Amino acid sequence: MDRLRIKGGRPLKGEILISGSKNASLPLMVAALLSDRKLTLHNVPRLADIDTMIQLLEQHGVEVTAGPGENGHARGTTLTLHAPKIVSTTAPYDIVRKMRASVLVLGPLLAREREARVSLPGGCAIGSRPVDLHIAGLKALGAEIDIDGGYLVARAPKGLRGARFTFPKVSVGATENMMMAAALAKGTTVLDNAAREPEITDLAECLVAMGVPVRGIGTETLTIDGVTSLQEASHRVISDRIETGTYAMAVAMTAGDVELVGGRLDLIEAAVQTLRDAGVTLSKTDRGFRVHRTNGALRGVDVMTEPYPGFPTDLQAQMMALMTRAEGASMITETVFESRFMHVPELARMGANVTIHHESALVRGVPTLRGAEVMATDLRASVSLVIAALAAEGESTINRLYHLDRGYERLEEKLAACGADIARIRR
Ligand code: EPZ
């Protein structure tokens, strides 16, 4: 298994190109299941999770071709997805267990084929992550759903019917599943308390390009008029706001100065405010924005994760890594997932001072971190250890690199180009 070796202490300087969003790309790819016409997606990042999604969609009958990217550029990938016929309505355990986003095929398959069998994803390192909201929503559209042999078995013999559904809790995945199911349901669907993440807006805009009327885009009430057929469409994936925030925090951690090309401040406003409060400078440029911290120490700030537009849970671990070196204390409260503090014991191995009280972590800044051998159990926890290692004295080794490969395109290349002493050790 590959590992990452980092020698800390070098400020990051230069520019980093932000990739297309992983969490926008996955549902956008699934949307191809709705249509017998081609869907072309530009700016899809090249990541392990994207490959897993291709594998899943291909076994459902989607023909996927990958081009080199926009304007013949090697960065980013253009994917063309075409599902003239669905050949299987089963999403098998072997693929779903690798990537929870696989559950997004449930709504589209049910809407198009009137049946779907999707493996239950099981537990995961950041919490139990049930799928009850996906089930309740699809039932409201007329689906019958049972659990049999570890699979969700869904049927809608007469097709799905539009309905009004209020999410009892905000869920990104359940909102996406419902939007896609509603696209082919008979009549109008109104989704209240829908998630408003930029990835939801991106999916809504792609559905509109495919010929589905969606109103209320960007608000907590989405209205979707079901259609009987869709049109050929192409769509450019938004830039990855979590990758953007991650690199902004890495630059702040090393007291560096980097332009994040393609990064959008407007997609991470809560994190931008938090970073400014902590003493980091972020300023818009023609190509994205510049982040720098050249003078003064970091200040401890409190953070609470919330659904968009609040502070994203997917940046919580990285923010905690940053706060380990701040002056004063920082209270970090996780309200989205129940056990997303797996990075805490690993940060402690590097000398961080963090105490957990239920859903909050109290971080007391320390003057120095020391390099260590660490490992993490999920994507964002892993990258928080990279951030800590970039500022730690001496050498760190990060194990279980496959987590990082799921969500960060060419991470070591991007950091090395800004002066980090970082190398992948293959074995
Ligand atoms: C998406 O996961 C993202 N994944 C996650 O990013 C992200 O952390 C999360 O949204 C929150 O922003 C993708 O987009 C592929 P949710 P999702 O449904 O859709 C509970 C990363 O690191 N819930 O919004 O699975 C759930 O347990 C990943 O890139 C139910 O109770 O998240 C959680 O506490 C990790 N029942 C909360 O809602 C349900 O049926 C929010 O989850 C569904 C969710």
Ligand 1 atom nearest to CA at 195: 24
Ligand 1 pocket residue status of 194, Cβ below 6 Å:
no
Which pLDDT does position 137 carry in this prediction?
A: 98
CA of 283 to the centre of ligand 1 (A): 30
Per-residue pLDDT, averaged over 237-246, amounts to 98
Residue 294 has pLDDT above 90, yes or no: no
Per-residue pLDDT, averaged over 163-167, amounts to 98
206 is annotated as an active-site residue:
no
Cα-trace Rg, the chain: 21
Ligand 1 pocket residue status of 127, Cβ below 6 Å:
yes
What residue's CA is closest to ligand 1, atom 42? 171
Ligand 1 pocket residue status of 45, Cβ below 6 Å:
no
Residue 234 has pLDDT above 90, yes or no: yes
Q: What is the DSSP letter of 157?
A: T
Cβ atoms 77, 46 nearer than 8 A: yes
Ligand 1 pocket residue status of 26, Cβ below 6 Å:
yes
Which pLDDT does position 76 carry in this prediction?
A: 62
Mapping DSSP to helix (H, G, I), strand (E, B) and coil, where does residue 420 land?
coil
pLDDT by residue (tens digit) across 90-140? 999 999 999 999 999 999 999 999 999 999 987 667 777 899 999 999 999
Per-residue pLDDT, averaged over 285-296, amounts to 91
Name the token pair of 223: 């209205």
Q: 233: pLDDT confidence band, cut at 50, 70 and 90?
A: very high
Ligand 1 atom nearest to CA at 338: 34
Average pLDDT, the chain: 95
CA of 331 to the centre of ligand 1 (A): 22
CA of 218 to the centre of ligand 1 (A): 18
**Active-site annotation holder among 124, 136, 209, 261:** 124
Ligand 1 pocket residue status of 131, Cβ below 6 Å:
yes
Ligand 1 atom nearest to CA at 131: 40
For helices 106-113 and 132-140, what crossing angle results, to 10°? 20
pLDDT by residue (tens digit) across 329-360? 999 999 999 889 999 999 999 999 999 999 99
CA of 112 to the centre of ligand 1 (A): 25
Biggest CA-to-CA distance, the chain:
65
CA distance 202 to 298: 34
Ligand 1 pocket residue status of 196, Cβ below 6 Å:
no
What residue's CA is closest to ligand 1, atom 35? 314
CA of 166 to the centre of ligand 1 (A): 17
Per-residue pLDDT, averaged over 52-76, amounts to 83
CA of 185 to the centre of ligand 1 (A): 24
Nearest to 243 by CA among 389, 416, 406, 98: 406
Ligand 1 pocket residue status of 308, Cβ below 6 Å:
no
Ligand 1 atom nearest to CA at 133: 40
Ligand 1 atom nearest to CA at 308: 12
pLDDT by residue (tens digit) across 383-418? 999 999 999 999 999 998 889 999 999 999 999 999
Residue 70 has pLDDT above 70, yes or no: no
Mapping DSSP to helix (H, G, I), strand (E, B) and coil, where does residue 284 land?
strand
Cβ atoms 177, 200 nearer than 8 A: no
